[in-house]
Amino acid sequence: MKRFLCLFLLSCLACCAVTARPSWLKDAVFYQIYPSSYQDSDGNGIGDIPGIISRLDYIKSIGVSAIWLNPVYVSGWTDGGYDIIDFYRVDGRFGTNSDLVELVREAHARGIKVVMDLVAGHSSDRNEWFLQSKEAPDLRYSDYYIWPGFKPEGDPLLGKFVATDAPRGPFYVKNFFDTQPALNFGFAHPDPAHPWEQAVDAPGPMAMRRELKNIISFWMDKGVDGFRVDMAASLVKNDPDKAATIKLWKDDLMPWFDAEYPEGVLIAEWFNPAQSVAQAGFDLDFFCHDGQYNYSTLFFYGRRGFGPNATISTPYFDKAGAGELKTWYGLYTYQYDAVQGSGYVCMPTGNHDFNRVCTEGRTTPEELKVAMTFFLTMPGVPFIYYGDEIGLKQNPAAPPTEGSGFRAGCRIPMLWDGTANAGFSTAPIEKIYIPQDPDPERMTVEKAEADPNSLLHYVRTLLELRKEVKALGADASWKLVSSLDQPYPMVYERKLGNERCRVVLNPSGKQVSVTLPKEEMKPEIIGGSYRKCTYKQTRKGDTVTLSPISAAIFKY
Residue 28 has pLDDT above 60, yes or no: yes
Query: What pLDDT does residue 304 have?
Result: 54
Digit-coded pLDDT (tens) for 526-555:
999 999 999 999 988 999 999 999 999 999
| Euclidean distance between CA atoms 498 and 491, whole angstroms | 19
Residue 151 has pLDDT above 60, yes or no: yes
Cα 419 → chain centroid? 31
Query: What pLDDT does residue 361 have?
Result: 84
Digit-coded pLDDT (tens) for 91-108:
999 999 999 999 999 999
| Euclidean distance between CA atoms 33 and 359, whole angstroms | 19
CATH architecture of the region 476-555: Sandwich (2.60)
| Shared fold status for 25-121+205-468 and 476-555 | no
Each domain of the chain, given as residue ranges in start order, spans: 25-121+205-468, 476-555
pLDDT mean over 113-129: 98
| Euclidean distance between CA atoms 351 and 158, whole angstroms | 30
Digit-coded pLDDT (tens) for 346-387:
999 999 999 999 997 899 999 999 999 999 999 999 999 999
Are 385 and 286 a contacting pair, CB within 8 Å?
A: no
Give 303's pLDDT tier (boundaries 50, 70, 90). low
What class is the 25-121+205-468 domain? Answer: alpha beta
SS3 169: coil
| Euclidean distance between CA atoms 288 and 307, whole angstroms | 17
Query: What pLDDT does residue 313 have?
Result: 77
Sheet bearing 113-119, strands edge to edge:
344-346, 284-286, 265-268, 226-230, 113-119, 66-69, 30-33, 383-385
